[in-house]
Chains A and B, each alone.
Chain A
Amino acid sequence: MNARVPISRPKLVVVGNGMAGMRTVEELLKLAPDAYEITVFGSEPHPNYNRILLSPVLAGEQTIDEIILNPREWYAENGIALHAGRTITSIDRARRIVATADGTAAPYDRLLLATGSSPFILPIPGNDLPGVITYRDIADTETMIAAARAHRHAVVIGGGLLGLEAANGLKLRGMDVTVVHLMPWLMERQLDRTAAQMLQQSLEAKGLAFRLEAKTEALIKGESGRVASVRLASGETLAADLVVMAVGIRPNFALAKSAGLHCDRGIVVNDTLQTFDPRVYAIGECVAHRGLTYGLVAPLFEMAKVCANHLAGYGIGRYAGSQVSTKLKVTGVDLFSAGDFTGGTDTEEIVLADPAGGVYKKLVIRNDKLVGGVLYGDTADGAWYFKLVRDGRSIAEIRDRLMFGEANLGDTGHQGQSRALAMADDAEVCGCNGVCKGTIVKGIKEKGLFTLDDVRKHTKASSSCGSCTGLVEQLLMATAGGDYSAPAKLKPLCGCTDRNHQEVRDAIREGHLLSIPATMRFLEWRTENGCATCRPALNYYLISTWPKEALDDPQSRFINERAHANIQKDGTYSVIPRMWGGETNSSELRRIADVVDKYQIRTVKVTGGQRIDLLGVKKADLPAVWADLDMPSGHAYAKALRTVKTCVGSEWCRFGTQDSTTMGQDLERALWRMYAPHKVKLAVSGCPRNCAESGIKDVGVIGVDSGWEIYVAGNGGIKTEVAQFLVKVKTSEEVLEYSGAFLQLYREEGWYLERTVHYVARVGLDHVKRKVLDDADNRRALWERLQFTLDGEPDPWHDMAKARIDTRQFEALAIA
């Protein structure tokens, strides 16, 4: 593949071989593998490792080898020159050269500073004694492990996240540990007082001792020359053979500053992670962005993505700051906090406190949005709450259930489990792909997976039906400390672009874009002709936004919508003809029976949508089967209107109040051939006994004596969701208009592959009501636009030319 690599490439030098720097390089390699000749300098003698997992190493739960993220082979494979154990001491920006103290120099065209941070050393007497260390890297960890073997007493100064993890690890390695903390309660930057006290109690039960509101005055030398004790301002003296300072970190910006780059508490960068010298980028704990510095890993990853994009020359994307969450990695202590958990005068709190049961939860809400929270004792829903914080969506409609957690966890496929941590290692999490908990946890640890997408790609868990997504997120949270993917709102549509679904929809509408190539050009797609993820989405957005103008592109549709039948595991297809409202007759049944015999169809199955499924049809037979059936396409293969399920209603039923069958048939005739972001199912019941199961449909209609009730956004699949009441109307014409208007709104605003339940959860039922109920003109306009779209739409089974079906697909090429 050398042919495509230009002989002389620009040089990228990365100063800092930690998580931020290497994540940026990884992202860059994904976007533009050959753009640079890359050289990496790192002060530590190790390849890049997962610093977050040093605590489990200290606690003896993992080894150093297990937390290496990029082994040396990775650098070699990607042609990266690695100088591990070499510290850059000067930058000559005029000549564009960096150099180490021993004179090793490297020229650069672009420079990336990822120098991280250093632990803060208290300016007290004795801070340089042997046995006094900080907690930052592998060397510190190894020193602590060695000290635990030879010594007895340890004092950890600092009761924050890092200090407590260090204290716990040293305790587990057999030392007597006292934590000295300046503030009135532990982890005051992540916890409120109540949660902190519960934490303290459980750590005390593990044998740790605490001195709160205690100031360290001096470290006293013993006879051996090593530290022997710690003297507090109160006068108390604590025996100490090992002192770990964990009182905070300071961004490392001395190097940048000495090179004349503007620094203020960190290396100052803009939203593209550029410093004041446009050739020099900076990222991670060493930077100050919009006046803030970050010490957690999630923001680094968000920065890395943006920085890599600009280094690759795409110039898309800005870093706008991060929401952060914290998970204490002390086995047996469940603690989670995120966002603004202290609140203020403009916030409200929902609190659940069960001190005896060891559970405390506080959720902080501002303007109907979850802005932060603290969980103690039961953190299973941490991932979900954190997602709500990042997505910033309104929680008004779920407020009453919010405290009880996870609403997006599927109901099936994992034995009803909703608490991943309580599951055994061999318990199946993903019922589709048969992935058990142990495999996922192992993958997260060994492959260094940080996002849900990573886990999906590498383990296949949660990659099919998605029912177990919540459980996988819980495992990510527990193992890696959180799901570090971008919030859904900002998530790019796919790897071909940095645009999200909404931006693409908006651009197609505002730019009057009419084809996939035009859209890709306009939005600067990175790939020549997209991928299997973006093309179907773009095709739908085009035809739904510009009906009769944008041409359908069958090659950008999934096979089912290209062949107008459902592909099966053996490569044959299933055919489901439409039966209006689930009603059929002898002549249709006779034709079906004849087709089954003539084409030797193996299985005939009654579907849940009141139709008949013919399974095992050879692709070559499809056109003939359709013709012989002489029934309309059931669109059972499409992101489109599927069925309108009905009960027999007042025509037959002694309880029926309305003619639900006719209503259902009218709806189906009005709405069939309607493509949508996802499949759409309707039901009409003739009385509140609701035999057609209207409560779990995208649109469910229930007849009552005085008219019809319309429910929307129900779902009977992965996650059973009860439909929400939209409106009650009197006439069947109104049922058509209101249902049609709701579905058109969903067609125009929904993101591809978003079911109505998720669409309504995203925009809020109030939004739907404003557009469909309150504004009668808008409702009629929506309904008219849907009718305009559907007018003249062909039945693909019987008008293949108009439906743009490529009939060559039904004929195989024969060889002599």
Chain B
Amino acid sequence: MSGGVAIAVAAPASASASMDSTFIAVCSLADVPIAGARVIERPHHPDGNVALFRTAANRVFAVLDRCPHKGGPLSQGIVYGDRVACPLHNWSIELGSGSAVAPDVGCARTFPVNVERGIVFVALG
């Protein structure tokens, strides 16, 4: 097991060009399980951690790791299509928009993601 998977490098100019906030490299794409997630830890951030998802179709999303329902850790849910099912009460969240799937109503914050040469960059804002 590797001791530290974090790769803290400055974002390449091309990745941050279109965004206000800075893209930060968080890991390589291979570090995220297919149809799974990793947690980006933000120990002192008031909103808590961010979940980094990789779908079966190899799309990558970053969503606040807190279900709009009762705060469940979305990173621990089952990933299917472009959605995740919250492990606590089975709400489904659209990874692209962070919105709960009807009839449930709610929204989790999402963060821009960029994958370049196998490295995942997230703009945590």
Give the A interface residue count (CB, 8 A): 31
B112 proximal to A (CB < 8 A): no
B34 and A816: CB pair below 8 A? no
Nearest neighbor of B2 in chain A, beta-carbon distance: A811
Contact mask A787-816 → B, CB, 8 Å, 1/0? Answer: 000000000000000000011110111111
**Residue from A531, A532, A812 in contact with B39 in the complex, judged by beta carbons closer than 8 Å:** A812
Residues of B within 8 A of A535 (CB): 78, 80
Given A532-B80, A555-B78, also A569-B70 (CB < 8 A): yes
| CA A536 to CA B83, docked complex, whole Å | 16
Residues of B within 8 A of A806 (CB): 33, 36
Given A532-B92, A555-B33, A555-B78, also A571-B72 (CB < 8 A): yes
- Contact segment of A181-189, A468-476, A556-564: A556-564
A567 and B27: CB pair below 8 A? no
What's the least CB distance linking A3 to chain B, in Å?
14
**Residue from B34, B52, B56, B83 in contact with A813 in the complex, judged by beta carbons closer than 8 Å:** B52
B40 and A812: CB pair below 8 A? yes
| CA A7 to CA B73, docked complex, whole Å | 41
Given A529-B81, A808-B38, also A813-B87 (CB < 8 A): no
Residues of A within 8 A of B85 (CB): 531-532
Given A457-B103, A815-B8, also A569-B88 (CB < 8 A): yes
| CA A571 to CA B49, docked complex, whole Å | 12
B56 and A814: CB pair below 8 A? no
Within 8 A of A (CB), among B44-69: 49, 52, 56-57
Contact mask A527-558 → B, CB, 8 Å, 1/0? Answer: 11111100110000000000000000001111
Residues of B within 8 A of A530 (CB): 80
Residues of B within 8 A of A809 (CB): 33, 36, 38
A96 proximal to B (CB < 8 A): no
| CA A567 to CA B70, docked complex, whole Å | 14
B92 and A815: CB pair below 8 A? no
What's the least CB distance linking B101 to chain A, in Å?
10
Given A535-B80, A571-B76, also A813-B27 (CB < 8 A): yes
| CA A44 to CA B102, docked complex, whole Å | 30
Given A571-B72, A813-B27, A815-B6, also A555-B38 (CB < 8 A): no
Main secondary structure of the interface of B (DSSP, over half): loop
Contact mask B16-37 → A, CB, 8 Å, 1/0? Answer: 0000000010110001111110
Residues of B within 8 A of A257 (CB): none
A149 proximal to B (CB < 8 A): no
What's the least CB distance linking A516 to chain B, in Å?
10
Residues of B within 8 A of A562 (CB): 76
A769 proximal to B (CB < 8 A): no
Nearest neighbor of B82 in chain A, beta-carbon distance: A528
What's the least CB distance linking B73 to chain A, in Å?
4
| CA A562 to CA B73, docked complex, whole Å | 14
**Residue from B32, B39, B87 in contact with A559 in the complex, judged by beta carbons closer than 8 Å:** B87
What's the least CB distance linking A310 to chain B, in Å?
24
| CA A239 to CA B90, docked complex, whole Å | 61
Nearest neighbor of B38 in chain A, beta-carbon distance: A813
B125 proximal to A (CB < 8 A): no
B79 and A808: CB pair below 8 A? no
**Residue among A528, A812, A813 with most chain B CB within 10 A:** A813
| CA A530 to CA B80, docked complex, whole Å | 6
Which of A's residues lie within 8 Å of B, judged by CB? 457-458, 464, 527-532, 535-536, 555-559, 562-563, 567, 569, 571, 806-809, 811-816
Task: Provide 20 A-B residue pairs closer than 8 Å at the C-beta atoms, listed in order of the A residue.
Answer: A529-B35, A529-B81, A531-B83, A531-B85, A532-B80, A806-B36, A807-B1, A808-B5, A808-B32, A808-B38, A811-B5, A813-B31, A813-B38, A813-B39, A814-B4, A815-B26, A815-B41, A816-B6, A816-B8, A816-B24
Q: Which 5 A-B pairs have the closest CB atoms?
A: A816-B8, A532-B85, A812-B41, A814-B6, A532-B78
